[in-house]
Structure 1
Amino acid sequence: MHNPSITFADASFAWPDGSAVLDHVSTAFSPGRTGLVGDNGAGKTTVLRLIRGELAPTAGQITTRGAVGYLPQHLTLAVESDVATLLGVRPKLAALQAIEAGSVDEHAFDTLGDDWDVEARSLAELAAMGLAGIGLDRRVGTLSGGEAMLVALTGLRLAETPVVLLDEPTNNLDGAARERLYAAIAGWRGALVVASHDVGLLDLLDDTAELRAGDVTVFGGGYTEFAEALEREQDAAQQALRTAEQRLKLEQRQRREAETKLARRKRYADKDYANKRRPKIIMNLRRGEAEVSAGKLRDGLDDRVESARGAVVEQEARVRVDERVRIALPDPGVGAARRLAELRGVRGVGHDGVHTVAGPERVALTGPNGAGKTRLLSTLFDAGLRAQLDAYAVPLTERIGYLPQRIDGLDEADSAVGNVRASAPESPPGEVRAQLARFLLRGDDVDRPVATLSGGERFRVALARLLLAEPPHQLLVLDEPTNNIDLRTTQALVDALSAYRGALLVVSHDRRFLDQLGIDTWLTLDGVNG
């Protein structure tokens, strides 16, 4: 690799509780575009913070070639500021305006530098990102979350920072915004590291870096190529392990058979000795020679068994043992004609703008960022808000489960067990613990306050509380459920929801996820409500 943009030199990082994110990692990222992948809780955001210099390794070094720009997963926005400020060009624009107004202040010229075209360049970059209608003076608070993210990304392009880090940049982006971001990434100039679970985005990148068990492995190619290569590697590792196990069994069997033969010979020799068939001195000599020969044979066979056992251990280390969330949902007993909710102000099912969710129907609610999809879902539980809007939802059953975009409905002071039992009060604590284990929440983790859990663990607690509720929900409402979960957990969720016999109402910009769910009805919400 020539002139790597980021270098890890025997780098380690562990949190004060001892949990390790990096364990003596030595690798490098190319000057191109690298996708950083890994399961929830592996520490991808922590690695980005280490690269950025916000955190320091506990051992070793992490170095970058040049300054580092960073787009966090959740933007902290000053809603009263303007687009120019979010782009990072407001000081230069102010200096340019002052100079154009006749100022000869040296500080203004120093601030502007050679960026005399900063305004035109900013507008051009915004237009290239599909944001041509957004002026530099527009207030940030009037932008949708997706628009704000694209503006911030445009600011990083304008800054031309040598190294740029993006943390889950496609979360909450609608299809059109994702395509604009994809185009920007495809033409990115400079080194780029993207932590993401978005396969479409990851496949645009040059390399894939996997963070797993404290190590970082870099693969040359996009995520799909990486996943296919990993599958081939694991198939070969499994076959090699089976071969090694068969060899060990063979060597152990031969060792047992040899021991049986040696025991049989010893019995014959002891019988000859007892019957004094030969002179005692000769028999003693032969007994000694036999014992030496048997010892050598045993040593040789033992060495072969140990060699075979070592080969098994070596091949076992090559085989991944990745746990998966295993979710089994109860049957909510929803008949095909059972009406569960009514959606008003949506398109896709006729001219009246009304759709009734009935039976085990799978419904996807789509629309651009800012159209009001999350607000429409909220009206299922808020009659006052429902009365204010043109597009809203009316519940026709009390058994509706809701998983919002932001996991903010948990009792932070209570444990995982306590949170789940709040929705399933009749379930004994032991049964709840067993169910949480299926969500990979075990041991002391299920008794810790939820506030101390990682983001991925908190999501699994919220998911468990939703899916294990008693009585079972007849309608599950999911708002961008794949934003906070890794690819393996997404697949487990797909598997569970595919077997769920109730209805689903899903808002998601993850088309791959929706296609896997087998959506029956596609609805669209076009404009902002209320």
Structure 2
Amino acid sequence: MSLIIRSLSYTHPDNEQLFNNLSLNIASGDKAALVGINGVGKSTLLKMLAGAMQPGSGEIITPEKPWYIPQHLGEYDRYTVGRALGIDQKLKALQAILAGDPDPQHFTDLDDDWEIEQKVSQALKKWGLEHLSTDQLLGGLSGGQKTKIFLASIDLHQPELILLDEPSNHLDTQTRSKLYQLIEQSKATILVVSHDRALLNLMNKTLELSKKGIEVYGGNFEFYQQQKLEKVNALHAQLNEQAKTLKQTEKKARDVAYQRQKQEQRGKSAGQSNSLPRIIAGGLKSKSERSTAKVLDAQNEKITGLQEHMQETRSQIQQYQVLKINITASEMHHGKLLIDAQAINFGYTLPLLQQTISFQLRSGERMQVEGANGSGKSTLLKVVTGELQPMQGNYSSSDFSYLYLDQDYAMIKADLSIYEQIQEYNSIGLQEHEIRALLVHSQFDAAAFDRKCAGLSGGEKMKLALCCLSVSNLKPDLLILDEPTNNLDLKSLEVLTAAIKNYEGTLLVISHDAYFISEIGINSHLNLS
């Protein structure tokens, strides 16, 4: 099933224009990724395509209503599992018929789907939800469980057009694999918003949404990255050519200026001699000077134009460059034993693990904690930080400093402004103008320094957190990351990945993002499942 967008525009109630004249054609069977920085309008566009929001103008053409799974599922907390699956009316009709109610409406609602209960059971089992009742409310379920229920609805209904907004955000590694398999095997037309690069690599089209519109790349995420790299290389080559031309033009301008100076000197000499009448000598001098001045003005105008073009090229290159923010590691020698855990188990009221675990963590090590959702990964981090004591086994740790970054970047205080937040960590004594320069370098708008941190996106919080670390004297012995890639756009992900990759200290990380894990130099694994 195809999806066509014609001249779509949308303006926020505060008169900020989000889209203007967007047009796009997604062919039947295409699997397309919609990418772009946070705040550019990816989720808003998906809502419009799903019919959950109305555009200001333009047209959306699709033969039937898309099957839409939004990013935030809290609005469905009062739904039952059956209603979220879209089969509650069928189940009620089947139960009424089996109870002997002959009302024709029940048969209409059931639509000859006599095996609906078995289908629901199979769909829930596939996603590890066989313990759930169709009468259960979504409000008491985790984010991952809610997402899996909506993914199970795809198996039940087999829609021809699917819209997915960050579908892998709350999923563990095992469930992500099932999602990838669903997408690979589906014959439907799929449009997905995601920062999950493994998922993006399953797409055959990448659509980049920006303030300029939508640019279509005819391949997956790796193809998209390669195309962007080629663009950057072309821009660098263009900048080099512009620099050469500028150098030649500046030389020519200097030569013309020197020629003019010599003409002026010759003119003075001619004027002082008696070989030519004064009026003729003056006329020749004036004509020659005007000609040289005209050439010089043209060269200077060309120089100004070249400088402007070079500045524009540099700005374009900067858009593609990854912001570099360094996290300083401690000077602790590698190999020191930081944690020694032997046959431990932990929890709040009852032990979480089915069997005890043993592990050691030494300085310089980069360890990933693995396991399904609910297996105790985040709880283990509380043991490591000393917030929780093991219930069983022997646990010892040396004296070490740590820095904890979670998916919500809790070190950022909602009631502070951007400037106040970074000032709180400014233990190296940067002056106000230096802090402001750092924030501008970190891609914060200078006009927004007084903006409250409560309104920051995930990517902005991450960049601000890294800025705070860069102006502090904090040199953590251990960096702890708990799902740090959630809520980040692709550009912010690149910033975080580069910072963690260059961090030379000890690392303990929980992440289901296989692409992120592959890039940050993990050298040991602890599996809790």
TM-score (norm 2): 0.81
Partner of 1:216: 214
In 2, Cα distance between equivalents of 1:232 and 1:428: 38
Measure, in 2, the Cα distance between the counterparts of 1:465 and 1:264: 59
For 2:442 and 2:305, locate their aligned partners in 1 and report how far apart those are by CA, in whole Å: 39
Q: 228, 234, 241: which one pairs with 1:243?
A: 241
**Cα distance change, pair 225–134 in 1 and its aligned pair in 2 (3 A):** farther
Residues 401-460 of structure 1 deviation map (CA, whole Å, 9 limit, x = unaligned): 222334456432223454456567786774766665564446454433221223322333
Q: What TM-score, normalized by structure 1, do the two folds share?
A: 0.81
1:162-311 correspondence runs (5 A): 163-265=161-263, 267-269=265-267, 271-278=269-276, 290=288, 294=292, 297=295
Q: In the aligned structure 2, how far is the partner of 1:306 from the partner of 1:444? A: 28
Equivalences for residues 56-95 of structure 1 within 5 A: 56-57=54-55, 60-61=57-58, 63-65=60-62, 66-76=64-74, 82-95=80-93
Q: What is the rounded CA distance, in whole Å, between the counterparts of 2:497 and 2:324 in structure 1?
A: 11
> Taking structure 1 as reference, are residues 429 and 99 closer, same or farther at Cα in structure 2, changes over 3 Å only?
farther
CA distance in 1, matches of 2:306, 2:521: 48
Q: In 2, distance between residues paired with 1:484 and 1:400?
A: 23
Q: Tell me what 2:526 maps to.
A: 523
Find the residue that maps to 1:103 and give its secondary structure: coil
In structure 2, give the amino acid aligned to 1:414.
Answer: L
Which of 138, 145, 148 is residue 146 of structure 2 equivalent to?
148
* Partner Cα distance (2:490, 2:157) in 1: 32
Deviations 1:161-194 (A, max 9, x none): 5543222211232222111111111233433221
The equivalences for 1:338-487 within 5 A come to 338-343=336-341, 344-345=344-345, 353-380=357-384, 386=389, 396-397=398-399, 399-407=401-409, 410-419=412-421, 430=432, 439-441=442-444, 443=446, 445-464=448-467, 471-487=474-490
Q: 1:438 to 1:380 in 2, by over 3 A?
A: farther
How many residue pairs end up in the alignment?
A: 515
Cα distance, 1:240 vs structure 2: 1.8
CA distance change for structure 1 residues 303 and 340 in 2, over 3 Å: closer, same or farther? Answer: closer
The Cα RMSD (Å) is: 3.9
8 Å CA contact 1:145–1:369 kept in 2: the answer is no
**Compared with structure 1, are the counterparts of its residues 336 and 381 closer, same or farther at alpha carbon in structure 2 (3 Å cutoff)?**
closer
What secondary structure does 2:203 align onto?
coil
| 1:477–1:469 distance in 2 versus 1, CA, 3 Å | farther
The 8 Å contact of residues 269 and 287 in structure 1, kept in 2 or not, is answered as yes
Judged with a 3 Å threshold, the aligned counterparts in structure 2 of structure 1 residues 21 and 261 are, in CA distance, closer, same or farther, namely same
- Cα contact 1:11–1:62 (8 A) shared by 2: no
Residue pair 1:82, 1:137 contacting (<8 A) in 2 also: yes
SS at 1:472 equivalent: coil
The answer as to whether partners of 2:325 and 2:466 remain within 8 angstroms in 1 is: no
Check the 8 A contact 2:400/2:478 in 1, yes or no. Answer: no
Range with bigger deviation, 456-465 or 294-303: 294-303
What SS class does the counterpart of residue 321 from structure 1 fall into? helix
Cα deviation for residue 34 of structure 1 reads 1.4
Q: Which amino acid aligns with 2:222?
A: T
The letter of the residue matching 1:401 is: L
Match of 1:39 in 2: 37
Amino acid at match of 1:137: T
Letter in 2 for 1:359: S
Q: CA deviation at 1:386?
A: 3.9
Q: Is the 8 A contact 1:150 1:181 kept in 2?
A: no
Contact 2:8 2:23 in 1 (8 A): yes
CA 1:393 to 1:323, structure 2 compared with 1: closer, same or farther past 3 Å?
A: farther
**Structure 2: gaps spanning 5 or more residues:** 347-354
Cα displacement (A) at 1:199: 1.5
Q: Would the aligned equivalents of 1:403 and 1:466 in 2 still touch at CA under 8 Å?
A: no
Deviation at 1:204, TM superposition (A): 0.8
